[in-house]
Structure 1
């Protein structure tokens, strides 16, 4: 039992010792890795001078024996390029960098053995190791990666293609002599795919070429496509906007026919619209019948019909040519009879003209009515105004003085009432006698003497006689004695016969049957007797 426990204890001690050894090695390696300080990466362009820094941060208890800079290319063996020993001068072994590499400090120091490389080349890119030989720790190192940069020359171009059924290259984009390799992408609405290839040059530069492939159609012509190049040396991606160039035969369309070509219509135009790549070179108009109507005038892409007639009732064809092929379109014209219904413009014009004529007619009618009304009023006033004076005689003092009032006899007729004769006096002419109102009639004579027709007053005469004011009445009365009968050829009084009826029935029976209206508005008696 005791022997078994001793064996287990021995095994445990061996395991603990092994673990302690591994931990010591790891700690020692970690401490040594942290003590050599370098830059993880340094970038440079060709022709520049680059500095590779290295330092041993804590040399307490450690003896620094020697420092060696080692160059390790991406492909190839490791090469010593610089060696520093405290007892000897710096040494630069044979290498691709000899003559261009040196320690930066003068004299060099083991604690900071940084180096510089002048006129760097693209082939200098790779891993640079700063390695210390120490005692008792052994070798310790730090690694710096030198990255060589080269700004590429970028370009893009369009490849002109024809319409087809197989994928072809329609655009190219290149990034030449860049370091590191550029990245190329495409931006477009066209339906295609890109293929990219890289090629390394003699000085480790890279040329990247990208091609965009698609099945070209006429609809793709002119579409936008852009090549975008991204590179480490550029602040932002470089873009090259392009337009696809797809060649195709002309596509033709005839416009201008509105299906309303009627007989007699003038100046109708058909236009031949065509698109194509390359641009169409010629436009030719034809008819299916082979003969062009005489009323047609052709100017380039326009066909103008001066006047529509039966000869235009045909099919017009337009042909357009370019280097790729021929395109055509046709339109069949159907000549119609003239439309009965006027156009909207005619309706509007007719309505406007009709309205104007109606307004003019109404205005003329109103003017006529107003003028007629004024003339009638002036005529009525003239019968009792300044030119003509109308009086109803047969009653009153003056009437009987002149033998027209009072009883019957050889010197007068009738009594003092309103049924006496009407006498008209015209002031404008003193040579015209009483009763001139009816001078257009042949005067009646009895015994060789002209007589004045005695008439019965109408309601109009009575109303007009009432319009005379007092001054006019007095003036008229003064003239009665002197002028009323001056122009009569005879001095015999006027005899007026009345029917043997009551005075109350005179107007109802006598006037209605005996009076005759004249053109000037007056009336005369049919049964009057003149002596």
Structure 2
């Protein structure tokens, strides 16, 4: 315990020493900050630059005896370039900048200097040093940057299409300080390479190239070089178009497939896509000699009048400094012009036949429908013979035939039961024809002159009676319950009764 008490005075002495050291360092830092300068100054070659310096002494207790400007060379040496002493005045000991450096207002209060006609070699550190009492020398340092605005340009490199990557454009930013930054903007699938060269005056030249695998498809595509530098208010951009050389690609136009004998005013035109442009275009034929009916004028071959000599193969050949391109065009001469669309006789005949068949089909369907309807409804006689419709049905004889002069079963709409009454003799074919309720087609089936005598009257009996008669057979009809229509159509177009009896 006593040992710890003896240690306290030692700790207090050490703490006092640390505090003293910190105080001295603070005073030195405060003293060093009394010389006021600009940390950095930029200028351009050929311009004048001012390096400012002053001493801050609010109390006025510090005695200043002299101010000296010192330049620190790149190799670390320090050289006095300007000195001001109130007793001896201003002096400039460094001969290398003699005449280019001077105090702006020689005094201890404002010892700022002016450097005239700045060069790249003037770049470096400049120290403003005050000789004071009792603090000693105090200083402040300014870094002078000499900027050089670069000279920028961009060019397109003419290359030929091939399998290996090559530079298609170059961008150069020359004699700049600090070095420029170059980037590329392009739709071409490539990459850039850059290099920098330091000049003797301290400036730097930057060169960048854009490299692609050149092909015909890349010719004329856009690409841009963008240069950024500290001296530029905004990036400088150069727009370029790639130039890829390739042999001619030949195209022939003018043949429409309708060259017929005697046609006039037709021509073939040969066009060649190439870089550089084609220097010559020549027309030839596969047989060796151009037909006399053609006239060639550069890339155009005019035909005065189509004849059989044109029934051949024409060849167009184009050349440039890279190579040659050619294309063939086969000509087929027709005897006569082709028929206009839609006026082919075969097509017209086919259309007419199709329409007729459609009309016949429709007419047949309508005829069958009407015939079926007539058959279902039956024939209507005069009022004297009574009506023959779905509401009034005449039932014929029994299954084995029978007398047709028997009972008639009539179904009446206003009666709840069927009634039995004695009917008048059934209508004959002549009665049906004379009734006026049949159309012409149906009457023709019962023509008394053309038919085979079904409705003729047999005079051998001495009386007029029909050959075709209806036999009712009422008892059998009641038992069978037969309610279908009695009349039936035949294949020859006639209509007969299912229960008809020939006598």
Measured against the shorter chain, the TM-score band is: 0.5 to 0.7
For the residues of structure 2 that align with 1:11 and 1:186, how far apart are their CA atoms? 70
Q: What is the match of residue 34 of structure 1? A: 33
Q: After superposition, where does 1:151-170 map in structure 2 within 5 Å?
A: 151-170=149-168
Task: Determine helix, strand or coil for the equivalent of 1:213.
Answer: strand
Of 231, 236, 240, the match for 2:229: 231
Tell me the CA shift for residue 327 of structure 1.
0.6
Tell me the CA shift for residue 85 of structure 1.
3.9
Check if 1:20 corresponds to 2:43: no
Q: What is the match of residue 318 of structure 1? A: 316
Tell me the CA shift for residue 45 of structure 1.
2.6
1:259-296: CA deviation from partner (whole Å, max 9, x where unpaired)? 44455544333221111122212112223343434443
Q: After superposition, where does 1:2-17 map in structure 2 within 5 Å?
A: 2-7=2-7, 9-10=8-9, 12-17=11-16
Kept after mapping to 1: 8 A contact 2:158/2:168: yes
Which has the higher Rg, Structure 1 or Structure 2?
Answer: 1
For the residues of structure 2 that align with 1:306 and 1:34, how far apart are their CA atoms? 100
Task: Determine helix, strand or coil for the equivalent of 1:222.
Answer: coil
Check if 1:84 corresponds to 2:107: no
TM-score norm. by structure 1 comes to: 0.58
Kept after mapping to 1: 8 A contact 2:184/2:223: yes
Of 244, 255, 263, the match for 2:242: 244
Q: What is the match of residue 498 of structure 2? A: none
Closer, same or farther in 2 for the Cα pair 1:304/1:118, shift >3 Å?
Answer: closer
- Which stretch of the first structure deviates more once superposed, 336-345 or 279-288? 336-345
For the residues of structure 2 that align with 1:239 and 1:69, how far apart are their CA atoms? 43
Tell me the CA shift for residue 63 of structure 1.
3.3
Tell me the CA shift for residue 77 of structure 1.
1.9
Check if 1:214 corresponds to 2:215: no
Q: What is the match of residue 204 of structure 1? A: 202
Closer, same or farther in 2 for the Cα pair 1:221/1:340, shift >3 Å?
Answer: closer
Task: Determine helix, strand or coil for the equivalent of 2:16.
Answer: helix
Tell me the CA shift for residue 54 of structure 1.
0.4
Tell me the CA shift for residue 122 of structure 1.
1.7
Kept after mapping to 1: 8 A contact 2:258/2:337: no
CA-based RMSD of the aligned residues comes to: 3.0
Tell me the CA shift for residue 22 of structure 1.
4.6
For the residues of structure 1 that align with 2:84 and 2:58, how far apart are their CA atoms? 17
Gaps of at least 5 residues in structure 1 are 348-531
Closer, same or farther in 2 for the Cα pair 1:291/1:345, shift >3 Å?
Answer: farther
Q: Specify which structure has the higher proportion of helix.
A: 1
Q: After superposition, where does 1:289-368 map in structure 2 within 5 Å?
A: 289-336=287-334, 338=336, 341-343=339-341
Task: Determine helix, strand or coil for the equivalent of 1:90.
Answer: strand
Q: What is the match of residue 105 of structure 1? A: 105
For the residues of structure 1 that align with 2:127 and 2:52, how far apart are their CA atoms? 11
Closer, same or farther in 2 for the Cα pair 1:136/1:2, shift >3 Å?
Answer: farther
Q: What is the match of residue 190 of structure 1? A: 188
Tell me the CA shift for residue 123 of structure 1.
0.6
For the residues of structure 1 that align with 2:138 and 2:256, how far apart are their CA atoms? 94
- Aligned positions, number: 344
For the residues of structure 1 that align with 2:151 and 2:341, how far apart are their CA atoms? 69
Structure 1 segments (4+ residues) deviating >6 Å: 344-347
Gaps of at least 5 residues in structure 2 are 346-503
Kept after mapping to 2: 8 A contact 1:80/1:95: no
For the residues of structure 1 that align with 2:338 and 2:117, how far apart are their CA atoms? 96
Q: What is the match of residue 148 of structure 1? A: 146
Q: What is the match of residue 47 of structure 1? A: 46
Kept after mapping to 2: 8 A contact 1:49/1:118: yes
Kept after mapping to 2: 8 A contact 1:79/1:95: no
For the residues of structure 1 that align with 2:25 and 2:83, how far apart are their CA atoms? 28
